[in-house]
């Protein structure tokens, strides 16, 4: 009874803080994202808002720059509802820049600054932007995309001397007066409408443009900071890209809405992370799971416990990393949350067990739009019962998470993508009653008896082998427990003559692993069907800018040694060991002369 009471008190307390923080965020109101930031500027003017290396800006400095950017919009005929592409690296000016655009009702399209060539051109083309602000530190990447850009675009060179064919943004902004635009320039826009465009990570293809409303952005900025009891003396270390919601809205907002400061770093660096945390006095940071895994795999750092960090917030912190991470680095509090930028399902674990991504207790079920339904791995579909409707999972059963689309509640809307085809692919219809519509998250989870949810895998990653479902995240977790392995990317590959897919793992290790010891570890920790049939010893893993593994090219290459420069091994049942795959072995596996 005492355990139950403590659990519920902790859960309700954390939830109440967050609900109070977002009270008043209303889709029907005209309190927009720009108004949200102006509210904080007026409250915290002389306090430090952003820090980067030796530079720092107060909230008043942020307002000054943002007003000049708004003046640039007016001077160049960029009006409310127009889109401006922002191709800028993490820097002190990043948030003030899109803040200034928002003051005029302009929609910033926050472009992944690590993209080049075809992928970058694709994002520009679907952004519908007529102007692009290009960081001169990224000019080479920008030039690589020019031939693929199909829209009529004015290029503005920022933070450096303009390259040929580009207008000078810095001088144009500096020439403007720092006058706050009257709210009337945003008249007619409500908080339920689009505030900015962000882009999906593109783990399996080209990125999609996700629409972020003013309501969603405000909820991101306010909510998790309240859950972490953020205050004016907090400093948020931001190493994640600011063009994504986790760093650019959740992390930044946790500091900005409470009068704290954001420490802007150009990118994540495992070797300098703890130096930065100590030097700048960080009290919080935002993470994605692989960032924590990278830090945990590093040798001991002299400052890894000398920091002041009390709270970390993010997503994807796997159970096999979580406990070791908080223990080794002395992190008192973790807020793990779940939600896609474009999705309508949100979960938060403020107090709960290690590995849970959030909770929906039975007594609050009516406040959420979440369900978990059965998912068939082989067909890639959600089975229907005899009544024609989807089948809810039981506690402990893995299924796909879906969120009911309710247009009367801004939390549960699905704004979709820039293309209707991409939008419709994510909607499941007639799920529990005729005419209903649900957002397909594409994530497999299970729920326990207390209402805690646990992420298992992406629907495209889980595969079947020997008539069993294999969850790639669970296999990767066990591989990562083996000494020396720093990264493990698990996927399924087709093998002629076999149903389903055989498991393959691309692993990165500090030095060549002892394959006999690794085989013994795998056999001891994983059921027979989940043990990787193939191993690829990689030098590094290809990831997105938020450290999600890319698997498309790995799957295409399979276990063919002619298509892979890395050493490849297979688990030979005859010897009970991992043995090299050469051209002859590859041919014998494909012909069936070697059985797996």
pLDDT digits (tens, 9 = 90+) for 221-254: 998 899 899 999 999 999 999 999 999 999 999 9
Calculate the dihedral angle through the C-alpha atoms of 543, 547, 551, 557, rounding to the nearest 10 degrees.
30
d(CA 376, CA 179): 58
What is the reported pLDDT for 528? 86
Residue 374 pLDDT greater than 90, yes or no: yes
Q: Helix or strand or coil: residue 312? A: strand
d(CA 397, CA 465): 19
Query: Which pLDDT band, with edges at 50, 70 and 90, does 538 fall under?
Result: confident
List, in order of start, the domains of the chain with CATH numbers: 20-342 (3.40.50.12780), 359-457 (2.30.38.10), 461-591 (3.30.300.30)
Does residue 409 or residue 256 have the better pLDDT? 256
The fraction of the chain above a pLDDT of 90, given in percent, is 66
| Region 156-165 average pLDDT | 94
Given a contact cutoff of 8 angstroms between Cβ atoms, the answer to whether 207 and 200 are in contact is yes
d(CA 14, CA 228): 8
What is the reported pLDDT for 40? 97
- Bridge pairing between strands 131-135 and 83-87: parallel
- Bridge pairing between strands 261-264 and 452-458: unpaired
What pLDDT digit, counting tens, does each position of 383-421 carry?
A: 999 999 999 999 999 999 999 999 887 778 888 887 788
| Region 68-94 average pLDDT | 97
Positions of E strands within 405-537: 427-429, 437-447, 452-458, 463-465, 468-470, 485-493, 502-509, 534-537
- Sheet of strand 333-338, all strands in order from the earlier edge strand to the far edge: 55-58, 48-52, 261-264, 235-238, 284-288, 311-315, 333-338, 347-349
| Region 505-526 average pLDDT | 91
Token duo for residue 264: 């802007």
| Region 291-319 average pLDDT | 92
d(CA 427, CA 440): 6
What is the reported pLDDT for 78? 96
Query: Which pLDDT band, with edges at 50, 70 and 90, does 5 fall under?
Result: confident
Residue 143: exposed, middle, or buried by beta-carbon count in 10 A (0-12, 13-18, 19+)?
A: middle
Residue in this structure with the two tokens 């999972």, named with its chain if needed: 393
What is the reported pLDDT for 209? 86
Number of H helices, E strands in the chain: 18, 28
């Amino acid at each position: 009874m005492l355990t139950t009471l403590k659990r519920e008190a902790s859960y309700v307390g954390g939830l109440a803080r967050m609900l109070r923080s977002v009270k008043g965020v209303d889709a029907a109101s005209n309190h927009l994202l720009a108004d949200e930031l102006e509210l904080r500027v007026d409250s915290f003017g002389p306090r430090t808002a952003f820090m980067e290396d030796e530079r720092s800006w107060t909230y008043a400095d942020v307002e000054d720059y943002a007003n000049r950017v708004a003046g640039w919009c007016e001077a160049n005929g960029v009006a409310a509802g127009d889109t401006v592409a922002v191709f800028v690296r993490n820097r002190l000016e990043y948030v003030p820049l899109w803040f200034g655009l928002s003051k005029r009702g302009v929609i910033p399209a926050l472009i992944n600054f690590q993209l080049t060539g075809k992928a970058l051109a694709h994002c520009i083309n679907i952004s519908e932007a007529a102007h692009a602000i290009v960081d001169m530190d990224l000019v080479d990447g920008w030039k690589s995309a020019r031939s693929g850009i199909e829209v009529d675009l004015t290029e503005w060179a920022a933070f450096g001397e303009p390259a040929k064919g580009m207008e000078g943004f810095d001088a144009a902004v500096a020439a403007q007066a720092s006058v706050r635009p009257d709210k009337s320039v945003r008249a007619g826009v409500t908080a339920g409408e689009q505030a900015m465009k962000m882009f999906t990570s593109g783990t399996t293809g080209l990125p999609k443009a996700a629409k972020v409303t003013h309501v969603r952005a405000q909820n991101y900025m306010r909510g998790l900071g309240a859950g972490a009891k953020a205050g004016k003396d907090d400093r948020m270390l931001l190493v994640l890209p600011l063009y994504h919601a986790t760093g650019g809205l959740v992390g930044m907002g946790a500091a900005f809405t409470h009068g704290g400061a954001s420490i802007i770093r150009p990118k994540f660096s495992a070797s300098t992370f703890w130096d930065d945390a100590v030097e700048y006095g960080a009290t919080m940071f935002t993470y994605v799971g692989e960032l924590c895994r990278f830090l945990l795999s590093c040798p001991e750092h002299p400052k890894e416990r000398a920091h002041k960090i009390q709270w970390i917030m993010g997503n994807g912190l796997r159970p096999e990393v979580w406990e070791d991470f908080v223990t080794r680095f002395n992190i008192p509090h973790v807020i793990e949350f779940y939600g896609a930028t474009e999705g309508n399902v949100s979960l938060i674990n403020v107090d709960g067990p290690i590995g849970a991504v959030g909770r929906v207790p039975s007594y609050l079920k009516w406040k959420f739009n979440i369900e978990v339904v059965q998912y068939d791995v082989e067909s890639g579909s959600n089975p229907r019962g005899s009544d024609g409707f989807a089948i809810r999972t039981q506690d402990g059963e893995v299924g796909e998470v879906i969120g009911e689309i309710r247009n009367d509640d801004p939390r549960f809307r699905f704004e979709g993508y820039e293309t209707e085809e991409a939008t419709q692919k994510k909607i499941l219809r007639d799920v529990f009653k005729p005419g209903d519509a649900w957002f397909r998250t594409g994530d497999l989870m299970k729920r326990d008896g207390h209402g805690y949810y646990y992420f298992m895998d992406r629907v495209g990653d889980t595969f079947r082998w020997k008539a069993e479902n294999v969850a790639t995240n669970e296999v990767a977790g066990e591989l990562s427990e083996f000494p020396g392995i720093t990264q493990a990317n698990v996927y399924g590959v087709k093998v002629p003559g076999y149903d389903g897919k055989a498991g393959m793992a691309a692993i990165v290790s500090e030095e060549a692993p002892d394959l006999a010891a690794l085989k013994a570890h795998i056999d001891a920790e994983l059921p027979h069907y989940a043990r990787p049939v193939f191993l690829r010893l990689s030098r590094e893993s290809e990831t997105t800018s938020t450290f999600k593994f890319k698997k498309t090219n790995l799957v295409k290459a399979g276990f063919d040694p002619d298509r892979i420069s890395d050493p490849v091994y297979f688990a030979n049942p005859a010897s009970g060991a991992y043995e090299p795959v050469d051209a002859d072995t590859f041919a014998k596996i494909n012909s069936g002369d070697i059985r797996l």
